[in-house]
Amino acid sequence: MVVLLSSCASLTKSQVEAVNQFSKTSADFSAYPSKIMTSLADVYVKRGVYLVNSLEDFDDINKASDPDDDSSAEKTVKQHIAELNHIMESKRHGYNTSKTIDITFKIIDKYIHALRLLSSDKHISNAGEQATNLGAGLDSLIGAYNNIPESKKVTKGIGGLVGSLIMAGGKQWVRAKQANEIKRFVPAADELISVMTGNLLQFLRSGKIDSLIANERQGIETDYKNFLRHRKPQIQHERDYLELYMDVDRIDTLRIQTIEATEALRAAHADLTAQILQKKTLNEFITALQTLYDDVKEVRTTISAIDSHKK
């Protein structure tokens, strides 16, 4: 069970606002590391199309001696479709993440969502219901995570703190209650954030991602060379080739930026916890929050660049 703080002093308004700013800056954080995998999968599919179009010569179909004999044509078409289907199957199974990382993504997002609800200064009509559902969901995810044999175990019961929110007449927060819940919730979750960000860093620095990036970079050139041996390229083909090459470079950049943002998330949460526990000034936390904000902004810019040519 979570060990709660014994001090009864509430947080100041500025501290509650700091918590809310942290939650807003960290919103949808798991989308950043998962974007690395989905983008690599997209590159794999696009280069695979060039490879498939270099495996058969469709011109031979039109040169058949018997126009009514379409057996060779049918065989070529079936082989072509089979190769395309194989690409999609490889995408599904070769670019997924482990169960530990999948749950890590969900836990971080659920926690940040709960923190944003806890620190909101606006009326939320169903906040009590949301808090209960978020708390139960968070505890359920932590339980599932702890059941994974290779996972580093974390403390249970954190979600119950979210579910204990009380509304005054169903219309507004009891500010003292809000501050007290935050004061209990954030420090109790610091171990959780430390472990979850550790999981992300291990994943982002893993040899698997290095290998996938290197494989896609080499595969783009290899598959396009095969395509050129069988097809006359159009201007759009050349543009696709260059864009795929740039995408791999962007994905590698995104990986580095996401590592920095994950480290910043961990540091900012640790500073926030220290500020709450030790009644420190906001100066140190504001610096950490600004670093997190800047890192997240860079990540989002790179993701926008990856997505831009798809439109």
Model confidence at 230, pLDDT cuts 50, 70, 90, reads confident
Q: Residue 216 pLDDT > 90, yes or no?
A: yes
Q: Pick from 199, 194, 185, 177: which is nearest to 265 by CA?
A: 194
Which one has a higher pLDDT value, 240 or 69?
A: 240
Mean predicted lDDT score pLDDT of the chain: 81
Q: What predicted TM-score, i.e. pTM, was given to this entire model? A: 0.83
- Confirm whether 8 is domain-assigned: no
Closest by Cα among 187, 186, 179 to 10: 179
pLDDT band for position 167 (cuts 50, 70, 90): very low
Q: What is the Cα–Cα distance from 288 to 299, expressed in whole angstroms?
A: 17
Domain housing 151: 13-308
Q: Is 168 helix (H, G, I), strand (E, B) or coil?
A: strand
Q: How far apart are CA 277 and CA 15, in angstroms?
A: 11
54: confidence class by pLDDT, cuts 50, 70, 90: confident
Residue 173's SS3 state is strand
Question: What DSSP designation does 2 have?
Answer: P
Residue 263 lies in a domain: yes
| pLDDT of amino acid 179 | 72
* H helix or E strand, kind and range, residue 186: helix 175-204
Q: Specify the pLDDT at position 170.
A: 39
Average pLDDT over residues 230-257: 93
> What's 265's DSSP letter?
H
20 or 93, which is more confident: 20
**Distance of alpha carbon 47 from alpha carbon 163, whole angstroms:** 48
In a domain, 264, yes or no: yes
Residue 236: per-residue pLDDT = 92
Question: What are the tens digits of pLDDT across the range 259-278?
Answer: 999 999 999 999 999 888 87
Is residue 8 pLDDT above 70, yes or no? no
Question: Residue 179 domain-assigned?
Answer: yes
pLDDT at 97: 77
Q: Which residue has the higher pLDDT, 182 or 67?
A: 182
pLDDT at site 12: 74
Identify the weakest region by mean pLDDT among 12-16, 114-118, 173-177, 196-200.
173-177
Chain CA centroid to CA 261, Å: 12
Across residues 238-246, what is the average pLDDT?
93
Arithmetic mean of pLDDT, 198-207? 93
Mean per-residue pLDDT, 137-161: 87
Question: Does residue 161 fall inside a structural domain?
Answer: yes
Radius of gyration of the chain (CA): 25
Q: Which residues contact 90 (CB under 8 A, 6 or more apart)?
A: 44, 48
Read off the DSSP letter of residue 156: S
> 295 in helix, strand or coil?
helix
- 132 in any annotated domain: yes
211 lies in some domain:
yes
Q: What is the mean pLDDT of residues 86-100?
A: 81
pLDDT at 249 over 70: yes
pLDDT of residue 83: 85
What value, to the nearest 5°, has the Cα angle with vertex 197 and ends 194 and 203? 140
Distance CA 146, CA 142 (A): 6
The pLDDT value given to residue 60: 55
What is residue 7's predicted lDDT score, i.e. its pLDDT? 41
Q: How far is CA 292 from CA 23, 55, 117, 218, 303, in A?
A: 11, 48, 20, 33, 16
Which pLDDT belongs to residue 39? 92
> Is residue 128 within 8 Å of residue 145, measured between CB atoms?
no
Asked if residue 302 is part of any domain, the answer here is: yes
Count up the domains in the chain and report the number.
Answer: 1
Burial of 174 (0-12, 13-18, 19+ CB in 10 A): middle
Instruction: Band the pLDDT of 181: cuts 50, 70, 90.
Output: confident
In this prediction, residue 129 carries a pLDDT of 66
